[in-house]
Amino acid sequence: MPNDAYIALIPLLPLAAFVVLGLFGRKSLLRLSGIIGTGAVLISTGLSLWTAYRYFAACLSDGACRLITPLKVTWLTFSPGLSIDLSVILDPISVMMIVVVSFVSLMVHVFSLGYMKGETRFGTYYAFLGLFTFSMLGLVLSGNIFEIYIFWELVGCSSFLLIGYYFDRPSAVAAAKKAFIVTRFADLGFLVGILILSFHAETLDFHTLIQRLTGPSPQLASITRASFLGISLLSWGLVLVFIGGAGKSALFPLHIWLPDAMEGPTPVSALIHAATMVVAGVYLVARLYPVYMFADPAVLRVVLYVGAFSALFAAIVACVQTDIKRVLAYSTMSQIGYMMFALGTFQAAGEENTLGYTASMFHLFTHAFFKALLFLCAGVIIHRVHSNEMKDMGGLRKLLPLTHGCFLIACLAIAGIPPFSGFFSKEEILLAAFHANKFVFAVGLFTSGLTAFYMFRLYFSVFWRRQSQDVGSHHGEAPLTMKIPLVILAAGAIFAGFVPFSRWVTYDGAPGKGQGIGGFAIAPVMLALLGMLLAGFFYQKESARPAKAAAALGGLYKFAYHKFYIDEVYSFITKKIIFNFIGRPAAWIDRNIVDGFMNLLAGVTARISARIKGFQSGRVQDYALYFFAGVAALAVLFIYIYT
């Protein structure tokens, strides 16, 4: 495909919007900023779709998808061969991702036109959205591991800025800081991982890196030979990169920032903390998947277990949360756990199982639609109710009919009810897990049931539970700008599952076999239905049942309600241990010991000075005496000792 340089425009247009709005959005372009931002993303989306169309058409005609690098600019050269190139690469997953990112971003942009209307920092909001969209698109198009790190940090930063958008709320500020610092901590792993991999592979380019580390090459020999603590450096590097991904994707135990990140405006949560940024970790692992496959199986096993545990853990916590956005946040975490463990299902009893890769990407794709939809619906609800708490809601189905419908669609999709999109992707994941590891499969299955339960718990609590009310009908459900994205996303949530995904997105570019799901689907769907029924039983009507159930579960309920006290553990470690036992002593030592030593030197000098003042007694006879003593001493020293 010649003339592909236009692809650079896909990320650059939102960047331009950011620059323009960042400079002028506060005053002169305040009113126009929504239009500018949305327009830029609209063009980007158009270009993305066009690119996707061309790319996959080429795939079909070639029989396999190839990796294309339409653009490559050297940005910073470290040493020959080792340079950060700003490059754009097209391969199935990156094309898939630009579509998802630009599309969801467009939806959020449009939605925000209504949702954020009247904010004083409207222009700034759109500027930040533009920055995020740019960074995220850049991230997925990166062809260089350091380039991805650059965008990785930039999405983190825009996430920080957007979470802290309501900067005068201390809780928002705290959440923003937490999100940044926790992901930063994980990025440390990513960075060191990059250092390890790039040092041995002698390149930063993904393509070359993968080639060198998966085939017989001197680079591979060097990285597997060198080891630390008995584990090869390759494994170390990959695990560290995975830690980076886990931080951004909010996997256990680095998930603590995600629920708090809900302090940001709801559309932002939909974009960043549901559909796009948080899946960057999955994308990263997928990007390096050939290397992961090639390395020690233990590495992917780590991915598998961490993913599975996160999925289960988050689902349990989601069951007892009362804040609508927090439930969604935990559900996001759980779904990402799914994607991650799908990637981990590579080793299947000796044979290679690449189904997980496709399934993971597929779930990523479908999840983006229904999760964004859920968040935007939540946005409408919050916009209306002015609260995040489920207890303030209930019986909203008449008041918000469209929202109700969309929400229901999204819930069905996430619960994995056919023929909604989530069904297809989730079944593929479970299938992959079934082949790989029965235990993880069981966990996945159980989690899938839980998912249905907590989503419908949410659904019933918000839309049913109470008498349908008709408060303040003087304004409609929501402005058109908010409704349109809902409808479009709902359509996506329904139909995205029918995309013949496995034909295109496979780890090696060759079309996949497209395994039938068939009868395998019965168990998960049954479980999901069970979960739905259970939720209906507890929450469809106002009753004492939930409380009783909670009481019955006792400690477990309390544990889950407090998110298993992970936050408390972290705050203990940081506040009590790091601050009190490292930071404070460091500051104290600096002032009192290191600086004290310098002052002591000065003090000692002054002390000596005071001690010897008697030497200058003011009596001329003493002076003469010292004079003579000096002569005598010199004479003794230099006549009798030194000669």
Partner 1 sequence: MWAGFIFSLRQELIVTGIIFLLLFIKVGATEYKTAVILNLVNGLLLANFILGFIGCQDSILFSGMFHTNKLLVLEKNILNLGTLIISLQAYDWLKGHRQVLEFYLLLLATLVGFFFMISAGNLLMFYLGLELSTIPLAALSSFDLEKRQSSEAAMKFIMSSAFSSALLLFGISLLYGATGTLDFDTIGQRLDGSAFQLFAFILLLSGFAFKISVVPFHLWTADVYEGSPVTVSAYLSVISKGAVFFVFIQVLYTVFKPLAANWYRILVLLSILTMVTGNLFALRQDKLKRLLAFSSIAQSGFILAGITGSSRTGDASVIYFILVYIFSNLGAFGVVSLISAQTGKEGIDDYKGLYATNPLLSWVMAISLFSLAGIPPTAGFFGKFFLLMAGVGKGNYVFIGIAALNMVISLYYYLRVIKAIFMESQPEPIGKLTIPFLPNLAFLICVAGIIMTGLMGWVYDYIYSLSIGL
Partner 2 sequence: MNQVPLSHILFVSTALFFIGMYGLFTRRNMITMLMSVELILNSVNINFIAFNKYLYPEKLEGVFFSLFIIAIAAAEAAVAIAIIINLYRNLRSIDVEDANEMKF
Partner 3 sequence: MNLSLLVLAPLITAVAVLFCRGLNRVRWVSLAGASVQLVLSFGLLALYWKERAAGNDAAMLFEYRHAWYLPLNIWYHIGVDGISVAMILLTAIVMEAAILVSWSIKTMSKEFFTLLLFLSAGAYGFFLSLDLFTLFFFLEVSVIPKFLLIGVWGSGKKEYSAMKLALMLTSGSALVFIGLLGLYYHTGGAGGPHTFDWVTISQMQFPAEVQRVFFPFLFAGFGIFTALFPFHTWVPDGHSSAPTAASMFLAGISMKLGGYGCLRVAVFLMPDAAREYSPLIILLATIAIVYGAFATMMQKDLKYINAYSSISHCGFILLGIGMLTRTAIAGAVMQMISHGLMTALFFAAIGMIYDRTHTRLVGRLGGLLKIMPFISTIFVIAGLCSLGLPGLSGFVAEITVFMGSWQHAGEMYRLATILACASIVITAVYILRATGQVIMGPVREPQYNGLADATWNEKLAGILLGAGIIAIGVAPFWLNDLLASGVGSIMDHAEKTSIIK
Residues that bind partner 1 (CB under 8 A): 605-606, 608-610, 612-613, 615-616, 618, 620, 622-624, 626-631, 634-635, 637-640, 642-643
Least Å from the CB of residue 602 to partner 2: 20
Least Å from the CB of residue 595 to partner 1: 17
What SS3 state is found at 75? Answer: strand
Q: Is 472 in the site for partner 2 (CB under 8 A)?
A: no
Work out which of 231, 589, 617, 637 binds partner 2, going by CB under 8 A: 617
Least Å from the CB of residue 579 to partner 3: 7
Q: Using CB distances below 5 to 8 A depending on partner kind, what does residue 559 bind out of partner 3, partner 1, partner 2, none? A: none
Work out which of 67, 188, 402, 491 binds partner 3, going by CB under 8 A: 188
Q: Is 26 in the site for partner 3 (CB under 8 A)?
A: yes
CB-based contact 450:387 (threshold 8 Å): no
* Part in contact with partner 2 (CB under 8 A); list of ranges 243-251, 282-290, 341-349, 622-630: 622-630
Q: Is 628 in the site for partner 2 (CB under 8 A)?
A: yes
Q: Which two tokens stand for residue 611?
A: 């001690």
Least Å from the CB of residue 594 to partner 1: 19
Q: Is 19 in the site for partner 3 (CB under 8 A)?
A: no
Work out which of 391, 595, 600, 623 binds partner 3, going by CB under 8 A: 595
Helix (H) or strand (E) holding 487: helix 480-495
What does the longest C-alpha to C-alpha distance in the chain come to?
Answer: 118
Q: Using CB distances below 5 to 8 A depending on partner kind, what does residue 104 bind out of partner 1, partner 2, partner 3, none? A: none
The residue assigned the tokens 């189904």 is: 355
Q: Using CB distances below 5 to 8 A depending on partner kind, what does residue 471 bind out of partner 3, partner 1, partner 2, none? A: none
Nearer to partner 3, 598 or 620 (CB): 598
Helix (H) or strand (E) holding 227: strand 227-228
**CA dist 519 → 56, 277, 524 (Å):** 30, 34, 10
Least Å from the CB of residue 621 to partner 1: 8
Q: Is 20 in the site for partner 3 (CB under 8 A)?
A: no
CA distance linking residue 334 with residue 437, whole number of Å: 19
Which residues 6+ apart lie within 8 Å of 138 measured at CB?
11, 147, 150, 151, 154
Work out which of 619, 639, 640, 642 binds partner 2, going by CB under 8 A: 619
CA distance linking residue 615 with residue 617, whole number of Å: 6
Strands 82-90 and 227-228: unpaired
CA distance linking residue 124 with residue 111, whole number of Å: 16
Work out which of 351, 621, 639, 643 binds partner 2, going by CB under 8 A: 621
**CA dist 58 → 63, 93, 457, 575, 617 (Å):** 8, 15, 45, 55, 102
Residue 232 φ/ψ, nearest 5 degrees = -65, 155
Gyration radius from the chain CA atoms: 31
Q: How many CA atoms lie within 13 A of 144 on its CB side?
A: 22
Work out which of 45, 102, 198, 540 binds partner 3, going by CB under 8 A: 198
- Report H helices in 202-349: 206-214, 218-225, 233-248, 257-260, 266-270, 280-287, 289-294, 297-318, 324-344
Nearer to partner 2, 27 or 619 (CB): 619
Q: Is 130 in the site for partner 3 (CB under 8 A)?
A: no
- Which residues are near partner 2 by CB under 8 A? 613-614, 616-621, 624-625, 628
- Which residues are near partner 3 by CB under 8 A? 26, 74-79, 82, 146, 149-151, 153-154, 157, 160, 164, 167-170, 172-174, 176-177, 180-181, 184-185, 188, 191-192, 195-196, 198-199, 579, 582-584, 586-587, 590, 594-595, 597-598, 602
